[in-house]
Structure 1
Amino acid sequence: MKILQINVVYKKGSTGKIVYDIHNVLKDKGIESIVCYGRGQKPNGPDEYKTSSELLAKLNNIKSRITGLEFNGSFFATIKLIRILKKEKPDIIHLHCINGFFVNIYWLIAYLKKSGIKTILTMHAEFMYTGGCGHAFECEKWKTGCGNCPQFKEMPSYLFDRTNRAWRKMKLAFDGFNENLIVTSVSPWLEERARQSVILGNKKHCTILNGIDTVNVFHPCDFSNIKRDLKLTDEKIICHITANFSNEIKGGKYIRELSERLKDKNIKIIVVGNTDKNLKLPDNIIDVGRINDQNELAAYYSMADLTVITSKRETFSMVCAESLSCGTPVVGFKAGAPEQISLREYSEFVEYGDLDALERTVHEWIELKSTVVNVIVEKAQGYYSKEKMCESYLTLYKELVNKSE
């Protein structure tokens, strides 16, 4: 059995790490594994292919801003990718996030459909059934064909609303691609949405949760050095993880407002991962910036009494899985997937934007960690482990291969 995975990045970002984990588990089991990716570092081995140059990807990005079709470019990179597929002749192709201007998605899907290659499409975002946007939020136009998009300027085109054409092109690519395709979603919430779509609704679906390294990384660990460096003593700690605090979708403004409500309390809010260096934050918020060491990230989770999620939409929530695996409860706004994939006994989610409810929930949970940490870790370590994720995909691979024999 030979498996070939395709993703926009490799070894970095949430999806890149997932691809890396699956790749290594397959090799450890003696299964031939190939990875193709479009963006980032150069490949290190014969089983890794980078299929697009950064220059070509940037040019395709610019082109999409003019044409309004994000997935329609990447002519030369797509030719290269298809040549690799023909050369390697995998039994199964596993698609992850294939946005990022490194491949013509319509062309690739049409090729896989015509060639009869067994294919798994893992949904990490919504764009494969919306035809364009990664988060549809409350909009339901993707159920009927898009067009007159209320947020098209936040998508590829600055000038033209091409959302209906993009939707139709995606539908055409997937039409008839049934028997050899399985659509997996990273949360029950995302699977339910995919099943409602015209583009993917009639395919075979299942859910496989994302997995993390709960053995070597995300588990309770020593944080004394961090606490000393930040000059923390007996304060209660709230952890908020975000790559962009100012991004409205990630809800940084609610953390600001929450901090104002907590300013007279012996509580510090630690913001981890933010890349916006021009932020001016209240005194009870400590912005530690971007962290590249995952073990250090686990130490921040371990130090916190509570993790707060304020995103408007999440299709999974690595933050939720990582925090709980380190023994720290999670509270936040309902955002789609987090309230479904969390350990419900050790997390609570309130209606989006309801700061009164969020503040009340923070006060209720921030004192509880010490009494439940061991139970949280025991349950989370198995539930979110990358081993469980990889075994689920391996079962699916074998099912597909056996079906063709």
Structure 2
Amino acid sequence: MNVLLISTQDVAGGAARAAYRLHKGLQNIDLQSQMLVQEKSTDDKTVIAPKIRLFQGIAKAKLTFETLPLKLYSQKQNSPFFIQWLPDRIIYQVAQINPDIINLHWISAAFMQIETLAKLKRPLVWTIHDMWAFTGGCSYAGDCSRYQISCGACPQLSSKKDGDLSHWVWQRKIKALKNLNLTIVSPGSWLAECAKSSSLFKNLRIEVIPNGLDTQKFKPVHQGLARELLNLPLDKQLILFGALDATNDSRKGFHYLQPALQELSKSGWKDKLEIVIFGASKPENPPELGFKTHYLGHLHDDISLATVYSAADVMLVPSLQESFGQTASESLACGTPVVAFNSTGLKDIVNHQQNGYLAKPYEVEDFAKGITWVLENEQRLQKLSFYARQKAEQEFTLELQAHRYSALFQEILIIANKSSFSN
């Protein structure tokens, strides 16, 4: 079986890393897997990207032209919104690779025109990493449920017109999806339920397959050694927070984390704890968190990430909406319990008071209580650490994920072959 994964990038960003990990997992179980991307960061020969400078330049220029229609919405919120209206070269590239089945991943950054889906002429499995695939352009809908109808009057565009840009994108998607051999895969149950309730995906097959990771790379490192390598204190308990652009992306919940930490500082923990933040460099005017804070900046390789997770006593993931929450699963794999809100994709990863703590959404006091509950009892912390690693080994290994995808691909191809034979 020849599988082609299509993703905007190979490893730059959480969705890209998830796709690339699956790509390697499929290869590890002897499937022929290749990856087609717009931007390549690895030197992996099985990842295919534009080599000719002209095409590389066109790809970068498309990012500028892609956003031109958004200029009509001067009051648009500062959140990702993708239109996918520019032509692409995907059909030519796919024809050269000639895969049996195509696994789409995150394709939202001016990589693939929506209308191209119908031209691929292969069975499609679309792994959704956010809500974009079934909305009129936004990556996360927040409190808006108009994706369940036909979008329009989009709050992220600050629009009150039913026939706005989001409705136009929705119309193009519903035409592109018509009569496709398309199966949806979600990494978590929350995103799957959102997809099922959407007007675009409500009649499609939707499966849940958690993101996998290499548990031989993401594994516990001796805490003292990890801290020495990172120049972190040995005599404090450390709480970790990490996300791409961690302190600026409101969806990641920093505005809930800050008051929770300040409350914790006032309750007798000030001299016992220090904070570690990765995914963001120290800003010129650092926010007051109530504790001494270490900013580690952006980390790009798995070994560095595993070292950071292992150095911490608890990982905090206060996201408002999360399709899965790879930082949470990575942390568990390294034996570090997680405190999160009991909402969205994190509910599939964190088992309340077994490998972490799920706070009531979005109660700052309960989030602070969760941090205290994890840290205040050393014996309990050791048990949480044990069950954290156990959860990762049982549910989040690359091998398990790859076998689940392989079984799904084989089933889809068998059905497709029977259908073509009968016709």
Using structure 2 for the length normalisation, give the TM-score. Answer: 0.85
> Cα gap change, 1:275/1:133 in structure 2, threshold over 3 Å: closer, same or farther?
farther
Residue 88, structure 1, aligned to residue 97, structure 2 = yes
Corresponding position of 1:236: 237
Corresponding position of 1:201: 202
Residue from 141, 150, 155 that aligns with 2:146: 141
> Over residues 208-266 of structure 1, what are the superposed CA-to-partner deviations in whole Å (9 max), with x where a residue is unaligned?
10011111x21110343553454513322111112221222112222322232233411
- Greater alpha carbon shift after TM alignment, 64-73 vs 284-293: 64-73
Shift of 1:357: 1.1
Corresponding position of 2:261: 259
Distance in 2 separating the partners of 1:192 and 1:7 = 23
For 1:86, give the aligned amino acid.
A
Corresponding position of 1:157: none
Distance in 2 separating the partners of 1:103 and 1:271 = 34
Residue 389, structure 1, aligned to residue 401, structure 2 = yes
> SS in structure 1 opposite 2:3?
strand
Distance in 2 separating the partners of 1:123 and 1:15 = 9
Contact 2:251 2:321 in 1 (8 A): yes
- Greater alpha carbon shift after TM alignment, 9-18 vs 137-146: 9-18
- Greater alpha carbon shift after TM alignment, 274-283 vs 126-135: 274-283
Distance in 2 separating the partners of 1:254 and 1:94 = 36
Contact 1:56 1:74 in 2 (8 A): no
Distance in 1 separating the partners of 2:237 and 2:40 = 39
> SS in structure 1 opposite 2:151?
coil
Residue 312, structure 1, aligned to residue 324, structure 2 = no
Contact 1:246 1:253 in 2 (8 A): no
Distance in 2 separating the partners of 1:386 and 1:64 = 40
Using structure 1 for the length normalisation, give the TM-score. Answer: 0.88
> Cα gap change, 1:188/1:278 in structure 2, threshold over 3 Å: closer, same or farther?
same
Corresponding position of 1:370: 382
Count, aligned residues:
390
> Cα gap change, 1:286/1:21 in structure 2, threshold over 3 Å: closer, same or farther?
closer
Contact 1:317 1:337 in 2 (8 A): yes
Residue from 124, 136, 156 that aligns with 1:131: 136
> Cα gap change, 1:351/1:28 in structure 2, threshold over 3 Å: closer, same or farther?
closer
Corresponding position of 1:360: 369
- Greater alpha carbon shift after TM alignment, 301-310 vs 277-286: 277-286
Shift of 1:321: 0.4
Residue 333, structure 1, aligned to residue 341, structure 2 = yes
> SS in structure 1 opposite 2:140?
coil
Residue 71, structure 1, aligned to residue 83, structure 2 = yes
Distance in 2 separating the partners of 1:95 and 1:293 = 24
* Percent sequence identity over aligned pairs: 22
Contact 2:106 2:128 in 1 (8 A): yes
Contact 1:246 1:276 in 2 (8 A): no
> Over residues 313-342 of structure 1, what are the superposed CA-to-partner deviations in whole Å (9 max), with x where a residue is unaligned?
101000110111111111122341101233
- Greater alpha carbon shift after TM alignment, 241-250 vs 313-322: 241-250
- Greater alpha carbon shift after TM alignment, 380-389 vs 13-22: 13-22
- Greater alpha carbon shift after TM alignment, 317-326 vs 243-252: 243-252
Distance in 2 separating the partners of 1:258 and 1:70 = 33
Alpha-carbon RMSD: 2.5
Shift of 1:8: 0.8
Distance in 1 separating the partners of 2:15 and 2:316 = 22
Residue 14, structure 1, aligned to residue 14, structure 2 = yes
Contact 1:175 1:199 in 2 (8 A): no
Distance in 2 separating the partners of 1:41 and 1:371 = 39
Distance in 2 separating the partners of 1:2 and 1:88 = 9
Gaps (5+ residues) in structure 1?
155-159
Shift of 1:205: 1.2
Shift of 1:96: 0.6
Corresponding position of 2:332: 324
Corresponding position of 2:416: 404
Gaps (5+ residues) in structure 2?
74-80, 418-423
Corresponding position of 1:272: 278
> Cα gap change, 1:25/1:284 in structure 2, threshold over 3 Å: closer, same or farther?
closer
- Greater alpha carbon shift after TM alignment, 334-343 vs 45-54: 45-54
